[in-house]
A and B are shown apart, each in its own frame.
Chain A
Amino acid sequence: MDRTLEDFITALRRSGVRVSVAETMDALQAAALSGYGDRRLLKDFLSVSLAKSLPEKEIFEVCFSRFFAVDDVSGEDFLFEKGDVPPTVQGTSLLTQFLLSGDDGGLALAFREAAGLAGIRDIQYPTQKGLYMQRFFQELGMEALDRDLRRLTEEGSPEALAQAKALESMRNHLVERTRNLIERQIELYASARADELSAEHIRNTRLTAIEERDLARIHKIVQKMVKQLKDRNSRRQKAARRGHLDFKKTFRKNITYGGIPFNTCWKSKKIDRAEVVAICDVSRSVANVARFFLLVLYSLNEVIPKIRSFIFCSNLVEVSPLFEKYPLQEALARLWSGTDLPILMNRTDYGGSFLDFKDQHSHCLTKRSTVIIMGDARNNYWNPKTEALRFISERCKRLIWLNPEMPSLWGAGDSEMETYLPYCTIARECNTLRHLEKVVEYLLRVN
Chain B
Amino acid sequence: MLPEGGAVNTLTDKFATVEGVRLGLKEVGYIAARQIAHAVYLAYHLGKPVLVEGPAGVGKTELAKATASFMGIPLIRLQCYEGLDESKALYEWKYGKQLLYTQLLKDKLDGIIGGEANLAESIDRLHQYDDIFFSPRFLEPRPLLRALQEKGGAVLLIDEVDKSDDEFEAFLLEILSDFQVSVPEIGTIEATTRPFVFLTSNSTRELGEALKRRCLHLYISFPEQGLEREIVKTRVPGISERLTAQLVSFIHQVRTLDIKKVPSVSETIDWAKTLVILHAENLDRELVRDTLNTFLKAREDIRVAEEKLHTLMEHALKEAT
Closest to A261 in B: B99
Given contacts A33-B42, A262-B99, contact A18 B34 (CB under 8 A): no
Q: Is the CB of A53 within 8 A of B217?
A: yes
| A-facing residues in B204-248 (Cβ within 8 Å) | 205-206, 209, 212-219
| A-facing residues in B78-123 (Cβ within 8 Å) | 82-83, 85, 95-96, 99, 103
Q: Is the CB of A238 within 8 A of B217?
A: no
Mask of B257-282 contacts with A, CB within 8 angstroms, 1/0? 00000000000000000000000000
Q: Is the CB of A260 within 8 A of B45?
A: no
Closest to A51 in B: B217
Q: Is the CB of B212 within 8 A of A53?
A: yes
Q: Is the CB of B85 within 8 A of A260?
A: no
Partner of B34, one of A40, A239, A240, A262: A40
Residue numbers in A under 8 Å from B82 (CB-CB): 235-238
Q: Is the CB of B216 within 8 A of A48?
A: yes
Mask of A208-247 contacts with B, CB within 8 angstroms, 1/0? 0000000000000000000000010001111110100000
The verdict on B48 contacting chain A, using a C-beta distance below 8 Å, is: yes
Q: Is the CB of B213 within 8 A of A23?
A: yes
Mask of B178-215 contacts with A, CB within 8 angstroms, 1/0? 00000000000000000000000001011001001111
| B-facing residues in A394-435 (Cβ within 8 Å) | none
Q: Is the CB of B18 within 8 A of A22?
A: no
Q: Please measure, in the bound complex, the distance between the C-alpha atom of A8 and the C-alpha atom of B85, giving whole angstroms.
A: 40
Closest to A21 in B: B213
Closest to A25 in B: B46
The verdict on A335 contacting chain B, using a C-beta distance below 8 Å, is: no
Q: Please measure, in the bound complex, the distance between the C-alpha atom of A44 and the C-alpha atom of B103, giving whole angstroms.
A: 60
The verdict on A446 contacting chain B, using a C-beta distance below 8 Å, is: no
Q: Is the CB of A57 within 8 A of B219?
A: yes
Q: Please measure, in the bound complex, the distance between the C-alpha atom of A148 and the C-alpha atom of B203, giving whole angstroms.
A: 63
Given contacts A41-B18, A47-B35, A235-B82, contact A262 B96 (CB under 8 A): yes
Given contacts A231-B205, A235-B82, A240-B83, contact A48 B213 (CB under 8 A): no
| A-facing residues in B272-297 (Cβ within 8 Å) | none
The verdict on B165 contacting chain A, using a C-beta distance below 8 Å, is: yes
Given contacts A26-B216, A44-B34, A47-B35, contact A54 B48 (CB under 8 A): no
The verdict on B39 contacting chain A, using a C-beta distance below 8 Å, is: yes
| B-facing residues in A257-274 (Cβ within 8 Å) | 260-262, 264
Q: Please measure, in the bound complex, the distance between the C-alpha atom of A202 and the C-alpha atom of B209, giving whole angstroms.
A: 26
The verdict on A29 contacting chain B, using a C-beta distance below 8 Å, is: yes
Q: Shortest CB–CB separation between residue A376 and chain B, in angstroms?
A: 35
Q: Is the CB of A22 within 8 A of B46?
A: no
Residue numbers in A under 8 Å from B203 (CB-CB): 54
The verdict on A101 contacting chain B, using a C-beta distance below 8 Å, is: no
Residue numbers in B under 8 Å from A53 (CB-CB): 53, 206, 212, 217
The verdict on B38 contacting chain A, using a C-beta distance below 8 Å, is: yes
Q: Please measure, in the bound complex, the distance between the C-alpha atom of A54 and the C-alpha atom of B54, giving whole angstroms.
A: 9
Q: Shortest CB–CB separation between residue A237 and chain B, in angstroms?
A: 6
Number of interface residues of A (CB under 8 A): 32
Closest to A49 in B: B216
Q: Is the CB of B38 within 8 A of A41?
A: yes
Residue numbers in A under 8 Å from B96 (CB-CB): 262
Q: Is the CB of B38 within 8 A of A44?
A: yes
The verdict on A284 contacting chain B, using a C-beta distance below 8 Å, is: no
Q: Is the CB of B38 within 8 A of A45?
A: yes
Partner of A30, one of B42, B83, B219: B42
Q: Which of A22, A48, A240, A242 has the most CB of B within 10 A?
A: A48
Q: Is the CB of B219 within 8 A of A26?
A: no
The verdict on A52 contacting chain B, using a C-beta distance below 8 Å, is: yes
Q: Please measure, in the bound complex, the distance between the C-alpha atom of A237 and the C-alpha atom of B18, giving whole angstroms.
A: 42
Residue numbers in B under 8 Å from A26 (CB-CB): 46, 48, 216
Partner of A18, one of B103, B206, B209: B209
Given contacts A52-B212, A53-B217, A264-B95, contact A235 B205 (CB under 8 A): yes
Residue numbers in B under 8 Å from A128 (CB-CB): none
Residue numbers in A under 8 Å from B95 (CB-CB): 262, 264
The verdict on A20 contacting chain B, using a C-beta distance below 8 Å, is: yes
| B-facing residues in A272-307 (Cβ within 8 Å) | none
Residue numbers in A under 8 Å from B205 (CB-CB): 231, 235
Residue numbers in A under 8 Å from B217 (CB-CB): 48-49, 51-53
Q: Please measure, in the bound complex, the distance between the C-alpha atom of A47 and the C-alpha atom of B213, giving whole angstroms.
A: 13
Closest to B99 in A: A262
Q: Shortest CB–CB separation between residue B224 and chain A, in angstroms?
A: 15
Mask of A38-63 contacts with B, CB within 8 angstroms, 1/0? 00110011011101111001000000
| B-facing residues in A12-31 (Cβ within 8 Å) | 18, 20, 22-23, 26, 29-30
Q: Shortest CB–CB separation between residue B222 and chain A, in angstroms?
A: 13
Closest to A264 in B: B95
| A-facing residues in B29-58 (Cβ within 8 Å) | 34-35, 38-39, 42-43, 45-46, 48, 50-51, 53
Q: Is the CB of A48 within 8 A of B85?
A: no
Q: Please measure, in the bound complex, the distance between the C-alpha atom of A41 and the C-alpha atom of B18, giving whole angstroms.
A: 9
Q: Shortest CB–CB separation between residue A16 and chain B, in angstroms?
A: 14
Closest to B83 in A: A238
Q: Please measure, in the bound complex, the distance between the C-alpha atom of A41 and the C-alpha atom of B51, giving whole angstroms.
A: 19
Q: Which of B18, B95, B99, B219 has the most CB of A within 10 A?
A: B219
Residue numbers in A under 8 Å from B85 (CB-CB): 240, 242
Q: Is the CB of A48 within 8 A of B103?
A: no
Partner of A260, one of B99, B215, B219: B99
Q: Please measure, in the bound complex, the distance between the C-alpha atom of A57 and the C-alpha atom of B205, giving whole angstroms.
A: 17
Q: Please measure, in the bound complex, the distance between the C-alpha atom of A57 and the C-alpha atom of B221, giving whole angstroms.
A: 12
Q: Shortest CB–CB separation between residue B38 and chain A, in angstroms?
A: 4
Q: Shortest CB–CB separation between residue B113 and chain A, in angstroms?
A: 20
Closest to A44 in B: B38
Q: A47-B35, A57-B219 are in contact. List 18 more A-B contacts (CB 8 A).
A: A22-B214, A30-B42, A33-B42, A33-B45, A45-B38, A45-B42, A48-B35, A48-B42, A48-B43, A48-B50, A49-B216, A52-B213, A53-B206, A231-B205, A236-B82, A240-B83, A242-B85, A261-B99
17 pairs, A vs B, C-beta closer than 8 Å: A20-B213, A22-B214, A29-B45, A29-B46, A33-B42, A40-B34, A44-B38, A44-B39, A48-B217, A49-B216, A53-B206, A237-B83, A237-B165, A238-B82, A238-B83, A262-B99, A264-B95
Which 10 pairs between the two chains have the least Cβ-Cβ distance? A44-B38, A52-B212, A52-B217, A238-B83, A48-B216, A48-B39, A44-B35, A231-B205, A20-B213, A45-B42
